[in-house]
Structure 1
């Protein structure tokens, strides 16, 4: 496999946002925090976010991550008896993304790959979410949806077309690694090799399948 560029999704690929759930809800609930309320809040948000994100992807006009998370928070809070503004919920959700820990093997594996490959980051996010994280990685270029005004899963394929254009690269030179269907379908649409990182033994449900599947970055080293 003669790849020259490795593209990485960030959240749930490089870093584990789930580790920050207690801190997310401590920041939101403050003195009203309990583990049970944190569990309820996380469940409400996680059940709402996929639909809100998918509607944003399908919409004709781009929504920023702040707008997506505020809409998600509003829908989630409508289900809960929490006296919290959607703005506060959205801010804490986004900020705590930036505080998430890297999976244990990630930084070492990227350090091993960097001498041979160009490393890029491709994320549906904003700078509040990613800046405190990506400064810890040696990478060549970061593509952020709020900057590009497009998502990885866009119907138009604008996100990955922009990646190809800015890198002046052939699709066959790139492999993109991510945990979501947006990663796989977006890469597929652009003719880029897709690699699904499936850390939790989930089932793939889309008819368009990833080209490659790994469970951790050590497998990626062996694969390449």
Structure 2
């Protein structure tokens, strides 16, 4: 990975749900061209791993990983398919052990102070804050920065172009996860130019923030 941290690759980590693996390469190329090289392909569809393989093989400049990782088995399958990083909505001891042993960067999901503290005890300092808006949003993350400044987050869940700058301005936020730059109607129409334009707009959100 070009950066020492997944959180520092771009201000926004696109969260991608791919129904048709044939869309994977042009979609990823549009995101990369727009300035968003890190791409999270979620394991929510049967096409996910095929999409991951295609992006990893064919899209220059992409750092493609897998999201919605729920089990140690999915960790193994994802890495075998070419995942450059792993993202989970939460974590258990078994899942964390598998991610730590995977050899690739990972972001375990947290939504409580105790979960953050438990990960810090295990040497994990970079996490996904999910579901961000429902779990307290920027106010919650501000509260964590004081007692646990060593923890850094990628908030995901309910974040859009309007709220993203508020998160990115926080000292403990490296990037945000979102899907607003990949509207379903644009994917259905295969309007990759529109997705590239939305990605470019999202990539400018780093101005004045701490994520580059």
Q: Which has the larger radius of gyration?
A: 1
